[in-house]
C-alpha cells in the first residue's frame, strides 16, 4: 500500500465580507478564515497552527487541539458531482492540509504521524459550522457534510517543525484503533446511541477536551 502523503497545504487570515446571496437569515456581514490559499515550499507548523494561518472565532476554532485541519482529496470528486461545482479546488472546505491515501474511515483518534520535522496527533473530527455553507452559497452544506461524514479531522502538534506538500504521512503509533474518525462522527451525530459506548469514547485520553465534554453531556453542544 502506498504511504499517505500531503497533496497541498493552504493557509489564510480572517477577512470580513458582505454576503448578498440571501441563503440564510444571518447578518450579511461576516468574518471568517475559511478562505485558504495554497503555498509552495516548507511552512512552519507550530503548536497552534501553520505560520500564516488564522481563525476568526477562537471560541470554536483553533487552539492546540485544533491546530491543523486535514481533509481527504478522495472526497472532492463526490462533492463536485453532488454540488454541481466543478471548480472546487483543494482548500475549498477550509482545510489546511489536503491528503491522499487517508480518510475518516482509516484515521483514528490518537494516531500519531511524522510529517517532515513535525509530529502530530489526531484529536477530533471536524464538525463544520455555517460558514462553509455561506462560502459556497449552499445553506445546508454543513448538514450534508455531517450526514456524509466527509468533514476531515483535526490534529494537535506534539513536535513543531516544517512541513510541505509531497511529504509522506508516516504512522508512528495507533493506540486507539477502535475509534476511527468515522465512528467518532457516528457517535457525535447520534447514529450510534449506545450509552456505554459513548462514555467509553468520551474517556479516550487522546480525544479533545471539547468533544469529551459534549459526548459526556458535561459541556455545551458547540464543537467544530
CB 113 within 8 A of CB 119: yes
The model's confidence at residue 222, banded by pLDDT at 50, 70 and 90, is low
What tens digit of pLDDT does each residue of 64-86 get?
Answer: 999 999 999 999 999 999 999 98
Chain segment 94-125, per-residue pLDDT in tens: 999 999 999 999 999 999 999 999 999 999 99
C-alpha cell read off for 126: 471536524
Tell me what pLDDT residue 68 has. 97
Predicted confidence (pLDDT) per residue in 134-192, tens digit: 999 999 999 999 999 999 999 999 999 999 999 999 999 999 999 999 999 999 999 98
pLDDT-based confidence at 26, cuts 50/70/90? confident
Residue 1 has pLDDT above 90, yes or no: no
Asked if the model's pLDDT at residue 224 lies above 70, the reply is: no
Calculate helix-pair angle for 209-216, 195-202, nearest 10 degrees. 160
Cα-only R_g, the chain: 17
DSSP state of 191: S
* pLDDT of 21 above 90: no
Domain ranges for the chain: 5-176
**The pLDDT value given to residue 219:** 61
What is the rounded average pLDDT for all residues in the chain?
A: 94
Q: Which CATH superfamily is domain 5-176 in?
A: PK beta-barrel domain-like (2.40.33.20)
Report how far residue 104's alpha carbon sits from residue 93's, in angstroms, rounded to the nearest whole number: 15
* Rounded Cα gap, residues 96 and 70, in angstroms: 6
pLDDT top residue among 203 and 19:
203
Question: Residue 50: is its pLDDT beyond 60?
Answer: yes
Amino acid at each position: 500500500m502506498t504511504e499517505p502523503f500531503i497533496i497541498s497545504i493552504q493557509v489564510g487570515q480572517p477577512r470580513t465580507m458582505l454576503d448578498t446571496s440571501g441563503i440564510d437569515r444571518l447578518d450579511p456581514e461576516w468574518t471568517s478564515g475559511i478562505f485558504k490559499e495554497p503555498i509552495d515550499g516548507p511552512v512552519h507548523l507550530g503548536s497552534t497552527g501553520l505560520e500564516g494561518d488564522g481563525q476568526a472565532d477562537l471560541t470554536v476554532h483553533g487552539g492546540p487541539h485544533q491546530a491543523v485541519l486535514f481533509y481527504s482529496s478522495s472526497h472532492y470528486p463526490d462533492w463536485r458531482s453532488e454540488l454541481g461545482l466543478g471548480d472546487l479546488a483543494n482548500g475549498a472546505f477550509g482545510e489546511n492540509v489536503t491528503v491522499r491515501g487517508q480518510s475518516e474511515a482509516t484515521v483514528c483518534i490518537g494516531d500519531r504521524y511524522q510529517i517532515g520535522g513535525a509530529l502530530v496527533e489526531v484529536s477530533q473530527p471536524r464538525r463544520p459550522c455555517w460558514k462553509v455553507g455561506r462560502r459556497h452559497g449552499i445553506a445546508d452544506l454543513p448538514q450534508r457534510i455531517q450526514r456524509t461524514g466527509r468533514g476531515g479531522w483535526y490534529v494537535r502538534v506534539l513536535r513543531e517543525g516544517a512541513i510541505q506538500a509531497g511529504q509522506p504521512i508516516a504512522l508512528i503509533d495507533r493506540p486507539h484503533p477502535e475509534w476511527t474518525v468515522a465512528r467518532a462522527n457516528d457517535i457525535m451525530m447520534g447514529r450510534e446511541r449506545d450509552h456505554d459506548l459513548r462514555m467509553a469514547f468520551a474517556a479516550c485520553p487522546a480525544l479533545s477536551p471539547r468533544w469529551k465534554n459534549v459526548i459526556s453531556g458535561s459541556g455545551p453542544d458547540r464543537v467544530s
